[in-house]
Amino acid sequence: MGNARTRRAPIEGPPVSRRRIVLTFVLVVFLALWLMPAAVTLITDLWFFREIGYTVVFTRELIARVLLFFLVGVPSAGILYFNLRMAQRGLAPVHFTIPVGDGTAGMINLTALVRRLTLPFAILIGVMIGFAASASWDMVLQVTNATRFGVTDPIWGRDVGYYVFTLPGVTAAVGLLRGLALGILVLLVPIYWLRGDIIPAPPRQLRIEPTAARHLAILLVLVFVLTAVRLWFVDIPSLLYSTTGPLVGASYTDLHATLPMLRLSAIIALLGAVAVLLGSQRGQLPRYTLWSVGGYLAVVLVGRGLFPMAMQKLLVAPTELTRETPYLRHHIAATRAAWGLDSVEIKDLGDAGNLTIADIRANAPTIDNVRLWDRDPLLQTFGQLQEIRTYYDFLSVDDDRYWIDGKYRQVLLAPRELNSKALPTQTFINNHLTFTHGMGATVAPVNQVTVEGLPVLFIKDLPPVSTVSLKITRPQIYYGEEQYDYAFVGTKQREFDHPAGDENIYASYTGTGGVHVGNVVRRLLLAIRFGSSNVFFSGDITDDSRVLYYRNIKDRVGRALPFLQFDRDPYLVIAADGTQKWLLDAYTSTDRYPYAKALGDGTTYMRNSVKVVIDAYDGAMKAYINAPNDPLIRTWAKIFPGIFVPMDSMPADLRAHIRVPDELYRIQTNLFTTYHMDAPEDFYHRDDQWQIPTVDEKDGAVPFMRHIVMRLPDEKHAEFIYMVPFTQRGKDNLAAWMVARNDGTAYGKLRVYRLSRQSLVYGPTQIEARINQDTEISRQISLWDQRGSKVLRGDLLVIPIEQSLLYVQPLYLQADKGRIPELKRVVVAYENQVVMDETLDGALTTMFGGATRQRVVPDAPVSGVAAAAGDGQLQTQLTEARRHFLSALDAQRNGDWAKYGEEIKVLGQILERVGNRK
């Protein structure tokens, strides 16, 4: 016989006490093995937090997680168990049984089995709910420590902090209670069915035992009431995130159709709860429940589906701009405020005059810092010339600025980090005790080149040697961008420091970073943490040794400050005392700012609230509050007191190197292409929408954005800015350009220079086309290609000079089988003129006449940039001499000795004239 309801007693199986003991033992062992790695990670992480002085983050997060686990998980398990036991109280009128095997071995009483599994099932569900709740520790802490934004939403008049902090908590609480009630209801129906408390009754009805009916009715009432609460207190405020109309936020249809229907739905849900109670008292629970659910679903389908759709299509769409204008205004204002665009300074530039050599000379600081070296070619060159050993890597090159020998210079800096995976011998001692750190950095000015076409190096070699006033005194890099594994210092093994010819130089770590190894118990925990028995048994590791872990700076800071997001590009700074510090920008963000434009991941608000400084030698961290008015960081500062310090306390030599972070600025500039239009009519029609021109690189098309040292129009001094041009949408001519200022009191300010609509200013794409069409440039590139070399076109630079724009593009030459790009030519474009020369100075001289200035490079015969001063005729002769000298070198490389002799002969004649002139 198959599944059946029967009143006969089931056949009892053999005693299971011994089996239960074995199963219990296995379960305990399994839990111990499962929890051990987590416990070891927890303990060793506590040591890490103590090392960096952020114990409060560890303890408060842990306490919050544990409290949420028990405060949510235990009551949930208790409520579930109580309801399941209530459904199984007393003797069941029938037993639901199924046969074992072919039926000869007896029958299994499912009703009794469900009773036995009730407690473990409730505990399991409670544990799952507890773990899910503990993951929301950050949300709960924000709710209990919320900070006002001081800005109210335009519809309900609530402070924005309610939506950012409180509403997520209300949503989670209501969702948990409603989900728990629904889950219990779904579980009780089959239990009552198995017990025979719910049975079919003709015609097409269900008969429910009165006690079961009351129990189910209470749960149904809770579901309806919680549904009404969710509609009124969650769904209605969430209309401010709607995307129904041509904007993000509550639109005309949302407020005139969806809102009334949400209120009606809430009322219908409450009426449904009353109907269920009446049905329970009258013994007609199924019928009243069906009517209540059907009525609610009808309102949802018609009132919240068809009615808003009809209003949007028939009433709003024909006159959309008129009806949506107030809400467009709310959306524009909220987006500009949420993304920091409401404080952008707008300046209009007049018609561009004709640039002269006098203008070039007046903007010498700008010309002196034109970036002729791109990051990718320079990274290749550094890799070939300065990695020194195969296990050193240059992972990135960063723009920065320093005062060097009394001048404000833009430089490119690349840290030399250790790649342990490239070590010739992979052993525990090599990877974790001997080769422990990188070494120094290579620094080059952005605008200087040697006679061979290579970059001039201010800081180079191992140990780092400087030819300028900028020095590195502590070059060891124990913490960096490389994916460093753990390392032990202070061991009996010597630490490799740097190579010196055929010999190796060793040194000992003298910093305070790392966790003490200590006694045998601590060593055992570390061995388990790192999964290596060598940690426990190695005789080279002593109790006084230290272990460094979380050595990748983004992993390190991310573990210490898990509630922040981080910029993708940390950068190294050489401090005034010669030590090396990493700077990493951190963000606070939310997806709950009402009416604001959302990114692809839902983010609607972001601030660069924190600047984190990490010592490259000992891993010490400090987090400086960069946006003290940001309510999010003020909330986190209340939650974790003492871990943030004010920006004013950052040392001046480090503060001189802070910058507007790349990721946030990219978002702001992208949004500003649309949201510079603050009038609803203009925004709706998008007739003045801009776009950011792109350039093709190896990773695809990337936005045209550059760091530049330049003097802005109407400013007295040159400064380090982040510049992006804007072109008209669908066109290539320039419409405006934006700068993010990075220096001094102007830090963080955004300024836009709008160009006159009455004049045509070529954009980057148009200039690229003109360069490609220039016959002389095309001929030279073709000639190089025929000689078996590859021409690399550098970044096209937009250089604002006074009211005009100058374009500069370097050209590099790389042998087909070579890996060292050499700077060979510089292209300068202005209006409809394009010239190419071997130096920027030569190109500017050809373009504007006269001369700029000649800088003498200490370790290179020729400078790639000129400056102002001196005799024009002498300068022209020197430029011509250099041209012939470089041509002679090219001929020598190509084995063209006839041409080499001709060029040397002409060079001698020029030098003779220069000598006679003197």
Quick one: DSSP state of residue 165?
Answer: I
Q: Which range has the top average pLDDT, 31-45, 333-347, 797-811?
A: 333-347
Other Cβ atoms less than 10 A from the Cβ of 566: the count is 19
Stated as kind and residue range, the H or E segment containing 99 is strand 95-99
pLDDT band at 4 (very low <50, low <70, confident <90, very high): very low
Three-state secondary structure string covering 582-609: EEEEEEEEECCCCCCCCCCCCCCEEEEE
The structure tokens listed for 228 are: 């009404």
Q: What is the DSSP string of 1-52?
A: --SEEE-SPPPP----HHHHHHHHHHHHHHHHHHHHHHHHHHHHHHHHHHHH
Residue 605 has pLDDT above 90, yes or no: yes
Helices (H), 299-446: 307-310, 320-338, 357-362, 364-367, 375-385, 428-429
pLDDT band at 1 (very low <50, low <70, confident <90, very high): very low
Cβ pair 640, 625 in contact under 8 A: no
**How many whole angstroms separate alpha carbon 47 and alpha carbon 40?**
11
CA dihedral of residues 116, 119, 120, 121 (deg, nearest 10): 100
Residue 871 has pLDDT above 60, yes or no: no
| Window from 356-370, 431-445, 484-498 with minimum mean pLDDT | 356-370
Closest CA to 76 of 180, 185, 232: 180
To the nearest whole percent, how much of the chain has pLDDT over 90? Answer: 64
**How many whole angstroms separate alpha carbon 865 and alpha carbon 438?**
33
| Window from 232-236, 361-365, 742-746 with minimum mean pLDDT | 361-365
**How many whole angstroms separate alpha carbon 360 and alpha carbon 355?**
8
**How many whole angstroms separate alpha carbon 245 and alpha carbon 321?**
10
Q: Which residues of 52-83 are buried (b: 16+ CB within 10 A; e: fewer)?
A: bebeebbeebeebbeebbeebbeebbebbbeb
**How many whole angstroms separate alpha carbon 43 and alpha carbon 526?**
10
**How many whole angstroms separate alpha carbon 399 and alpha carbon 445?**
10
Q: Facing residues of 97 across strands? A: 4, 109
pLDDT for the residue numbered 829 = 92
pLDDT for the residue numbered 803 = 81
Residue 7 has pLDDT above 50, yes or no: no
Closest CA to 664 of 588, 721, 735: 588
Give the angle subtended at the CA of 842 by the CAs of 840 and 843, to the nearest 5°: 65
Cβ pair 477, 616 in contact under 8 A: yes
**Prediction pTM value:** 0.86
The structure tokens listed for 878 are: 């020197």
How far, CA to CA in Å, does 326 sit from each of 154, 490, 617, 680, 689? 10, 68, 56, 8, 21
pLDDT, mean of residues 29-40: 82
Closest CA to 894 of 783, 728, 779: 783
pLDDT for the residue numbered 8 = 41
pLDDT band at 854 (very low <50, low <70, confident <90, very high): very low
**How many whole angstroms separate alpha carbon 244 and alpha carbon 252?**
9
Hey, what amino acid is at 811?
Answer: L
pLDDT, tens only, 621-666: 999 999 999 999 999 999 999 999 999 999 999 999 999 999 999 9
Q: What is the DSSP string of 646-684?
A: EGGGS-HHHHTT----HHHHHHHHHHHHHHT--SHHHHH
Residue with more model confidence, 373 or 757: 373
Region for 888 from its dihedrals, namely left if φ exceeds 0, alpha if ψ lies in -120 to 50, beta otherwise: alpha
pLDDT, tens only, 713-770: 888 889 999 999 999 998 888 999 999 999 999 999 999 999 887 778 888 888 888 8
pLDDT, mean of residues 895-903: 69
Residue 865 has pLDDT above 60, yes or no: no
Residue 148 has pLDDT above 70, yes or no: yes
Q: Which residues of 682-715 are buried (b: 16+ CB within 10 A; e: fewer)?
A: ebbeeebbbbbbeeeeeeeeeebbbbbbbbbeee
Closest CA to 527 of 40, 34, 32: 40
**How many whole angstroms separate alpha carbon 763 and alpha carbon 713?**
19
Residue 895 has pLDDT above 80, yes or no: no
Question: φ, ψ for residue 348 (rounded to 5)?
Answer: -100, 130
Residue 864 has pLDDT above 70, yes or no: no
Coil, strand, or helix at residue 170? helix
Looking up tokens 């981080």 gives 566
State the helix-helix crossing angle for 631-639 and 137-144, rounded to 10 degrees.
100
Residue 881 has pLDDT above 70, yes or no: yes
pLDDT, tens only, 426-441: 999 999 999 999 999 9
With 0-12 / 13-18 / 19 or more C-beta atoms within 10 angstroms meaning exposed / middle / buried, residue 181 is buried
pLDDT, mean of residues 358-377: 88
| Window from 100-104, 191-195, 533-537, 775-779 with minimum mean pLDDT | 100-104
pLDDT band at 500 (very low <50, low <70, confident <90, very high): confident
pLDDT band at 6 (very low <50, low <70, confident <90, very high): very low
To the nearest whole percent, how much of the chain has pLDDT over 70? Answer: 89
pLDDT for the residue numbered 853 = 44
pLDDT band at 617 (very low <50, low <70, confident <90, very high): very high
**How many whole angstroms separate alpha carbon 132 and alpha carbon 868?**
68
**Terminal Cα distance for the chain, rounded:** 120
pLDDT band at 876 (very low <50, low <70, confident <90, very high): low
pLDDT for the residue numbered 850 = 62
**How many whole angstroms separate alpha carbon 800 and alpha carbon 115?**
80
pLDDT for the residue numbered 126 = 95
The structure tokens listed for 618 are: 């000992």
Residues in contact with 768: Cβ distance below 8 Å, sequence separation at least 6, in sequence order: 796
Q: What is the mean pLDDT of the chain?
A: 88
**How many whole angstroms separate alpha carbon 881 and alpha carbon 429?**
57
Other Cβ atoms less than 10 A from the Cβ of 276: the count is 25
pLDDT, mean of residues 7-29: 60
